Structure 1
Amino acid sequence: MRLFSRSGEKSGLLGNRHWPDYRPFMIHKNIVLMSIKFTDAVRQALWDEMKHDPSVLVIGEGVPDPKGIFGTTLGLQEHFGKSRVFDMPLSENGMTGACLGLALRGYRPVLIHQRIDFSLLAMDQMVNHIAKWRYMFAGQQHVPLVIRMIIGKGWGQGPQHSQALWGMLAQVPGLKVVLPASAAEAYAMLRLGIRDSDPVIFVEHRWQHHTLSNKSSLENWHQRDLKQASIVHSGDDVTLCGWGYSVLECHNAAHALEKVGIRSEVVNLRIGHRLDTDLLLESINKTKNLVVHDLHPEQLTPAHSVVSKLFQLLGDEQRKKVKMRVVAQPNHPVPTSWHLAQHSYAEAPQIIEAALALLGRLDLLTTALSFLSRPSRPDAPNQDFCGPF
């Protein structure tokens, strides 16, 4: 079963790119009762797959800890036992190799790195072994392994605990990189990833953990088309796109731009290892303007690959009409001090500025920025932004 294809073929799953769970809403008691947090959706996906398949294992530093990796593994060991849910030593390379062996022996391990930075110690296992195993054995052996990696800046994480890095893995043939933008997507992508016969890198941002989705949007998870991008917010003036948490920042920017009469189309790219060019071309042919947001440092960021790919696919006349910009992070490490780190974030304000620059309407910048919902400190999650999914 291969559910996250690297090829460009159309999916055999549900083909609707406009998901019903993408709706902004104000948080009140009734909404909360009908909603599920991102962390709870991840935990529920692990629970449901472990109940469905006894070969599923959950392994990681801090898995049985009282905090349960931001709450995503709470109660799993108590229910499924220490033989299926267990801690691991500070030996990322060795444990990743052990999970490769488990996968080859018929298990479906879920390996969790609380920081994607820690996974650098296991690059040899991921890049030279896990990614290439199926190819080297002519498809006779598969590696059904999910590696959860948590990214995100803030709270004084500093230069060694705040990097994105998933772009390095997305360019490795044999690895499938998925970045859910909502709790509903996290639930579906994690369950589909665990059932996939090939290795899946599941990337989540810490600032997504408090965001909500409607509980009903978790239904029919197996029918969802997660190979293609989706339109989160429709518009015809400018296209904003990104992966995972970037989609929330684009959506936040779109609502502020809407207040000043700019209609933005927000595209959730979803998959890091391949690009849904059909939907993006359809969007930019309509809007003629594109802003790509990325959590990597600007130099050689995956966003530049998006711009380059689209530029190659556009015709000569289209290239004269379409304008594109990348909004990424500065090319330097993130400071630990929040007084300094507040200048290290390129998010909704910078997306708005880039969009208005493309449209020649920078005169609207101050007004548009006044409509943004932002945290008082730039290194803390925006708790007011609990939607839009």
Structure 2
Amino acid sequence: MPVITFREALNAAMRNEMKRDENVILLGEDIAGGKGAGGQQDAWGGVLGATAGLYTEFGPDRVFDTPISESAFIGAAAGAAVTGLRPVAQLMFVTFFGVAGDALFNQMAKFRYMFGGKTKTPCVIRTLYGAGTGAASQHSDCYYPIFTHVPGLKVVVPSTPYEAKGLMISAIRDDDPVIFFEHQAMSGDKGEVPDGEYTVPFGEARVVREGKDATVVALGRMVQFAEKAAEELAQDGVECELLDPRTASPLDSDAILKSVKKTGRLVIVDESLPRCGLASDISAIISEQGFHTLKAPIRRVTPQHNHVPFAPNLEQAHIPSPEKIVEAVKSVTGGK
């Protein structure tokens, strides 16, 4: 099986869907041009190169560079979706979402509801999130809980190149708006990805590792950190069951409840902030529906309630780490 990067997996997914369906279009800032296209000198393929080459292959009628106006092109994507196209728009960094808030929250999220189910909004919003690259606080936030809060939006947070390709294909084929979160520190991560098309379903958690002593739930980049922690804990005889929800909305709460019933302990690793974050949401679900299965208090491993620092040492201290996850698991297993 080929080994490719996270960005190449996304590129392959978009290329596959553009070949399959002529209604799929791309729009965003600096996504056009491709590499080596005639007359195109600034051919980035997007801020991290995920759309490189697609302009060359599919042309200017399907790959559009937009002005630096998120409110304009996210609004255009919403309109294109309800008129029969399947736009994939890149909101360069999720921290810019406020500029396009009306189109995201008050329009595309509500179209199906407001029109009594008689319309579809097949629109994907690709966006970068996450700390760890020295991009400072205005480019590093982890805002998937905000979108998870809004009915009508599906929220996807892939953790590997394999997941990225399969989830992106599912997102483009979905008839509802999907916010697709890509961690900027994972763009060059490599993994095995099949050549052909395949889909990864929404709302079905992946069991990354089976175990009996504690359940660890993590998504996005935090899955990597949780895997490292689980490997270290296994050397001390603590077997963690690691779940990757894949999507924050819909959330596979049944899989989490089932795992907690098995292990009796829960640690949630979340790069979003602790107040009203995904870890808080999962904690509430388990407390309400699975409290009787718990053998220890739920632990959350999150940043402090701060903006992402720019100083490298402070930024690393801000992000959940494998060491913090190990400490949390030991606290709920009694230091076993």
Counterpart residue identity of residue 117, structure 2 = G
2:216 aligns with 240
Decide whether the 8 Å contact of 2:133 with 2:184 is kept in 1.
no
Aligned-partner residue type, residue 17 of structure 2: E
Runs of 4+ in 1 over 6 A off after TM superposition: none
1:45 corresponds to which of 13, 16, 30: 13
Please give the per-residue CA displacement for 1:335-360, whole angstroms capped at 9, x wherever unaligned: 21213323212222111110111112
Query: Would the aligned equivalents of 1:288 and 1:323 in 2 still touch at CA under 8 Å?
Result: no
Letter in 2 for 1:293: V
Aligned to 1:100: 78
The TM-score, its normalising length taken from structure 1, stands at 0.80
Matched, 1:171 2:149: yes
Q: Are residue 131 (structure 1) and residue 109 (structure 2) matched?
A: yes
Q: Does 1:283 align with 2:251?
A: no
Report the secondary structure of 1:304's partner residue.
helix
Structure 1 gap ranges (5+): 1-32, 363-389
Residue aligning to 1:12: none
Question: 1:221 — aligned with what?
Answer: 198
Comparing 106-115 and 277-286, the one that deviates more: 277-286
> Unpaired runs of 5+ in structure 2?
33-41
Alignment of 1:145-156 (within 5 A): 145-156=123-134
Instruction: Provide the alpha-carbon RMSD of the alignment.
Output: 1.7
Deviation at 1:315, TM superposition (A): 5.4
CA contact (8 A) 2:203 2:249 kept: no
Question: 3-state DSSP class of the match of 1:190?
Answer: helix
**Paired letter, 2:275:** Q
Q: What is the CA distance between 1:37 and its match in structure 2?
A: 1.5
* SS of corresponding position for 1:267: strand
- 1:304 partner letter: S
Are 1:310 and 2:286 counterparts? yes
Alpha-carbon shift at residue 95 of structure 1 (Å)? 1.1
What is the match of residue 269 of structure 1? 245
Of 324, 340, 344, which aligns to 2:298? 324
Q: Distance in 2 between matches of 1:219 and 1:244?
A: 23
Identity %: 34
Partner of 1:180: 158
> Secondary structure at the residue paired with 1:272?
strand
Change over 3 Å in CA distance of 1:258–1:315 after alignment to 2: closer
Q: What displacement does 1:291 show?
A: 0.6
Question: Could you list the per-position Cα deviations for residues 263-290 of structure 1 after superposition, in whole angstroms to 9, with x for gaps in the alignment?
Answer: 1110011111232222112211221111
Are 1:178 and 1:271, in contact at CA under 8 Å, matched by a contact in 2?
yes
In the TM superposition, what whole-angstrom CA distance separates every residue of 1:186-216 from its partner, at most 9, and x where no partner exists?
1111111111111111111112222233233
Structure 2 distance, partners of 1:155, 1:244, is 15
- SS of corresponding position for 2:9: helix
Residue aligned with 1:343, SS:
helix
SS at match of 1:295: coil
Letter in structure 2 aligned against 1:74: A
- Cα deviations across residues 166-188 of structure 1 (Å, max 9, x unaligned)? 11011111001111111111111
Matches of 1:301 and 1:226, distance apart in 2: 20
The aligned residue for residue 185 of structure 2 is: 207
Q: CA deviation at 1:245?
A: 1.6
Structure 1 position 220, deviation (Å): 6.0
8 A contact 1:99–1:145 mirrored in 2: yes
TM-score w.r.t. length of structure 2:
0.92
**8 A contact 1:55–1:107 mirrored in 2:** yes
Note closer, same or farther for the CA distance 1:93–1:220 as it changes in structure 2 (3 Å cut). Answer: closer
Q: Distance in 2 between matches of 1:46 and 1:102?
A: 17
Equivalents in 2 of 1:254, 1:130: separation in Å? 40
- Cα distance per residue 1:7-61 (max 9 Å; x no partner): xxxxxxxxxxxxxxxxxxxxxxxxxx73121111100001111111111111111
Distance 1:332 1:202 in 2: 24
Structure-to-structure mapping, 1:27-106, within 5 angstroms: 34-64=2-32, 65-69=42-46, 70-106=48-84
- Report deviation, 1:66: 2.7
Q: Give the C-alpha shift of residue 225 in structure 1.
A: 3.5
Q: Is the 8 A contact 2:133 2:185 kept in 1?
A: no
Partner of 1:380: none
Q: How many residues were matched structurally? A: 326
TM superposition shift of 1:303: 0.7
**Larger RCO, structures 1/2 (Cα 8 Å, 6+ apart):** 1
For 1:61 and 1:309, the matched residues in 2 are separated by: 39
The one-letter code of the counterpart of 1:355 is V
